[in-house]
Amino acid sequence: MNSGLSTAVALKRRPLTWHRLQRLVAPYVFVSPGVVFYLMVTIIPMVWGFWISFHKWSIIWPAHPWVGLGNYTALLSEDLFWISLRNTAVYTAGVVPVEVAFALMVALLLNTKMRARGFFRLLYYLPVVTPLSISAVIWQWIYHPHVGLLNWVMRVLHLPTHDWLQEIGTAMLAVIIVAIWSGVGYRMVIFLAALQGIPQTYYEAAMIDGAGGFALFRHITLPLLKPATLFVLVTSIISSFQVFSIVNVLTQGGPLDSTHVVVYYIYKRAFGDLQFGLAAAMSFVLFAIILVVTAIQWKLIGREVSYE
Amino acid sequence: MTRKTRRVFALCIAALLVMWIASGAVLAKKTTIVHWQHHSPARKEMVEAFAAEFMEKNPDVEIQIESIPETDYFQKLLPALAAGSGPDTFQIPAGQVASYAATGVLQPISPKVATTAQIEADFVPSAIKRLKVSGSYYGFPVDTQTIVLFYNPQLFNEAGLDPAKPPQTWAELIEYAKAIHQRDANGVTTRMGVATGGYGPVLASLMLQNGASLWNNETDLPDFSSPAAAQALKFAADLVTEYKVEDRQMGSRWNAFRQSKLGMVFAHPAMIGSFRATVPDLVFKIAQIPAPKPGGSRATLLTSWAYVVSKKAPSEAASKWIAYLTSEDAQKRWITKTGDLPTRKALLELPEYKNDPLLAPCMESMKNSVPAPWTTRRLDDELLRKAYELVILKGESPEKAMKWLSEEAIKAEKEQKALAKP
Answer whether B149's CB lies under 8 Å from B265's CB. Answer: yes
Q: Best mutation site among A52, A55, A56, A61 for testing chain B: the one with the most B CBs within 10 Å? A: A61
B-side interface with A, Cβ within 8 Å? 71, 74-75, 78-79, 81-82, 99-100, 102-105, 188-189, 248-251, 376-378, 381, 385-386, 389-390, 393-394, 412, 415-416, 419, 422
Contact A274 B378 (CB under 8 A): no
- Domain identity same for B359 and B376: no
Q: At what angle do helices A132-142 and A171-196 cross, to 10 degrees?
A: 130
At residue A1, the pLDDT reads 43
| Cα separation, A40 vs A46, whole angstroms | 10
Q: Which one of B81, B251, B376 has the shortest CB-CB distance to A146?
A: B251
Structural domain contains residue B19? no
- Is residue B267 within 8 A of residue B279, CB to CB? The reply is no
B152 with B112, same domain? Answer: no
The region of weakest confidence among B60-69, B236-245, B366-375 is: B366-375
**What is the spatial distance between Cα B105 and Cα A58, in angstroms, rounded to a whole number?**
12
Q: Are residues B133 and B236 in the same domain?
A: no
Contacts of B388 in chain A (CB under 8 A): none
Q: Do B409 and B294 share a structural domain?
A: yes
CA separation for the pair A150, B89 (Å, rounded) = 47
Nearest to B364 by CA among B289, B285, B295, B293: B289
- Whether A256 sits inside 8 A of B390 (CB atoms) is yes
CB-CB: which of B103, B248, B393 is closest to A61?
A: B103
- Residue A233: what pLDDT? 93
* Residues from chain B contacting residue A63 (CB–CB below 8 Å): 422
Q: Where are the alpha helices (DSSP H) in chain A?
A: 2-13, 18-38, 44-52, 70-74, 79-110, 117-129, 132-142, 149-156, 171-196, 200-208, 213-216, 222-224, 226-241, 245-250, 262-267, 276-301
Q: State the virtual CA torsion across B112, B342, B195, A80 in degrees, nearest 10.
A: 0
Q: What is the pLDDT of residue A39?
A: 95
Give the Cβ contact number of residue A84 at 10 Å: 25
| ∠ CA A28-A33-A34, rounded to 5° | 95
Interior angle at CA A278, CA A289 and CA A85, nearest 5: 35
Same domain, B269 and B399: yes
Q: Which residues contact A186 (CB under 8 A, 6 or more apart)?
A: A103, A125, A128
Q: Three-class SS of residue A286? A: helix
Q: What is the CATH number of the domain that holds B358?
A: 3.40.190.10
Q: Is residue B110 part of a domain?
A: yes
| Cα–Cα separations (whole angstroms), residue A150 to A146, B6, B16, B67 | 10, 94, 81, 37
Strand partners, B63: B33
- Considering only CB atoms, which chain B residues are within 8 Å of A144? 251
Pick the last residue of a domain from B319, B346, B365.
B365
Give the count of Cβ contacts less than 8 A between chain A and B: 69
- pLDDT attached to residue B339: 80
Contacts of B182 in chain A (CB under 8 A): none
- A194 closest CA partner among A104, A268, A112: A104
CA-nearest of B95, B159, B138 to B304 is B95
Q: Taking a C-beta distance cutoff of 8 angstroms, is the pair B279, B257 a contact?
A: no
Q: How confident is the model at residue B187 (pLDDT cuts 50, 70, 90)?
A: confident
pLDDT at B298 over 60: yes
Partners of B68 in the β-ladder? B38
Q: Which of B342, B365, B388 delimits the end of a domain?
A: B365
Q: Taking CB atoms and an 8 Å limit, are B393 and A168 in contact across chains?
A: yes
B111-121 burial code (b ≥16 CB/10 A, e <16): eebbeeeebee
In chain B, what residues touch A257 (CB-CB under 8 Å)? 386
Report if residue B20 sits inside a domain.
no
Instruction: Select the residue of B251, B381, B422 nearest A61 (Cβ to Cβ).
Output: B422
- The answer to whether the Cβ–Cβ distance between A256 and B394 falls below 8 Å is yes
pLDDT band of B109, cuts 50, 70, 90 = very high
Query: A42-51, A159-168, B6-15, B104-113: lowest mean pLDDT where?
Result: B6-15
Taking every pair of C-alpha atoms in chain B, what is the biggest distance, in angstroms? 113
For B250, nearest residue in chain A (alpha carbons): A146
Average pLDDT over residues B373-398: 93
Residue B136 domain flag: yes
State the complex-level ipTM.
0.82
pLDDT confidence tier of residue B268, bands split at 50, 70 and 90:
very high
In-domain check, residue B25: no
State which residue of chain B sits closest to A270, comparing Cα positions.
Answer: B75
Residue B342 and residue B295 share a domain: no
Q: What is the dihedral of CA A157, A159, A161, A165, to 10 degrees?
A: -90
pLDDT of residue A234: 93
| B40 SS3 class | coil
Answer whether residue B27 shows pLDDT above 60.
no
Task: Report which of B91, B127, B86, B132 is spatially closest to residue B109, judged by C-alpha positions.
Answer: B132
Asked if the Cβ–Cβ distance from B415 to A61 is below 8 Å, we say no
Q: How many domains does chain B have?
A: 2
Is residue B271 domain-shared with residue B286, that is, in the same domain? Answer: yes
HSE of A32, CA atoms in CB hemisphere, 13 A: 6
Are A56 and B422 inside 8 Å of each other by CB? yes
CB atoms A144 and B82 under 8 Å: no
Backbone angles phi, psi at A61, to 5 degrees: -85, 130
Q: Where in chain A is the domain with CATH 1.10.3720.10?
A: 70-301
Q: Could you give the percent of chain B with pLDDT greater than 70?
A: 95
Query: Is residue B333 domain-resident?
Result: yes
Same domain, B293 and B346: no
Reply yes or no on whether the pLDDT at B5 is more than 80: no
Q: Could you give the C-alpha distances from A119 to A64, A125, A195, A196, in angstroms and in order?
A: 56, 10, 19, 18
Tell me which amino acid residue B267 is.
A
Distance from CA of A112 to the nearest CA of B (A): 44
Closest CA–CA distance from residue B181 to any residue of chain A (Å): 16
Query: Contact A59/B82, CB-based, under 8 Å?
Result: yes
What is the sign of the dihedral through the CA atoms of B83, B87, B91 and B95? positive
CA distance B364 to B148: 10
Q: Are residues B169 and B234 in the same domain?
A: yes
Q: Is the pLDDT higher at A22 or at B50? A: B50
* One domain, residues B108 and B203: no
Query: B80 to chain A nearest CA, in Å?
Result: 9
Tally the C-alpha atoms within 13 A of residue A204's C-alpha that lie toward its C-beta: 4
B108 & B159 share domain: no
DSSP A62: S
> Chain B residue closest to A58 (CA)?
B419
| B345: enclosing H helix or E strand | helix B345-348
Angle in degrees, CA B108, B112, B113, rounded to 5: 75
Nearest CA in chain A to B252: A144
| Exposure on the CB side of residue A104, measured as CA atoms within 13 A | 17
Contact A274 B78 (CB under 8 A): yes
Structure confidence by residue, pLDDT tens digits, B192-227 = 999 999 999 999 999 999 999 899 999 999 999 999
Beta bridge partners of B141: B306
Nearest of A264, A267, A276 to residue B82 by alpha carbon: A276
What CATH class is the domain A70-301?
Answer: mainly alpha
Which residues is B189 bridged to in the sheet?
A: B183
pLDDT of B117 over the 80 cut: yes
Cβ–Cβ under 8 Å, residues A190 and A224: no
Model confidence at B173: pLDDT above 70: yes
Provide the CA A104 distance to its chain's centre, in angstroms. Answer: 16
At how many degrees (to 10) do helices B315-325 and B41-57 cross? 130
CB contact under 8 A, B416 and A163: no
> Does B17 reside within a domain?
no
Interface residue ranges in chain A relative to chain B, Cβ cutoff 8 Å: 56, 58-63, 65, 144-147, 163, 166-168, 248, 254-257, 271-275
- Provide the shortest C-alpha distance from residue B180 to chain A (in Å): 19
| Chain A: residue whose CA lies nearest to B102 | A61
Distance, in Å, from the CA atom of A255 to the CA atom of A169, rounded to the nearest integer, reads 9
- Per residue, what are the HEC states of B259-296? CCCEEEEEECCCHHHHHHHHCCCCCCEEEECCECCCCC
Cα angle value B41/B43/B45 (rounded, 5°): 70
CA distance A189 to A202: 22
Q: How many residues does chain A have?
A: 308
In order along its 308 residues, chain A shows pLDDT tens digits of 455 555 555 555 667 788 888 888 999 999 999 999 999 999 999 999 999 999 998 888 888 899 999 999 999 999 999 999 999 999 999 999 999 999 999 999 998 888 888 888 889 999 999 998 899 889 999 999 888 999 999 999 999 989 999 999 999 999 999 999 999 999 999 999 999 999 989 999 999 988 888 899 999 999 999 989 999 999 999 999 999 999 999 999 989 999 999 999 999 999 888 899 999 999 999 999 999 999 998 888 776 655 55
Q: Which of B320, B349, B365 is the last residue of a domain?
A: B365
| Among candidates B78, B386, B419 on the partner chain, residue whose Cβ is nearest the Cβ of A256 | B386
| Burial of A171 per CB tally in 10 Å (0-12, 13-18, 19+) | buried
Contact between chains at A60 and B377 (C-beta distance less than 8 A): no
Task: Please give, rounded to a whole number of angstroms, the shortest distance from the CA of B173 to a CA of chain A.
Answer: 25
Question: B347 and B383 share a domain?
Answer: no
Taking a C-beta distance cutoff of 8 angstroms, is the pair B363, B341 a contact? Answer: yes
| Whole-number Å distance between alpha carbons of A42 and A99 | 28
Strands B189-195 and B300-310: unpaired
Q: CA of B316, closest CA in chain A: separation in Å?
A: 23
User: Rounded to whole angstroms, how far apart are CA atoms A52 and A71?
Assistant: 10
Pairing outcome for strands B285-288 and B221-222: unpaired
Structural domain for B248, as ranges: 148-301+372-420
Distance from CA of A241 to the nearest CA of B (A): 21
Q: pLDDT-derived band of residue B1, with 50, 70 and 90 as boundaries?
A: low
Q: Which residues of A touch B104 (CB under 8 A)?
A: 62
Residue B317 lies inside a defined structural domain of this protein: yes
Q: What pLDDT does residue B421 have?
A: 67
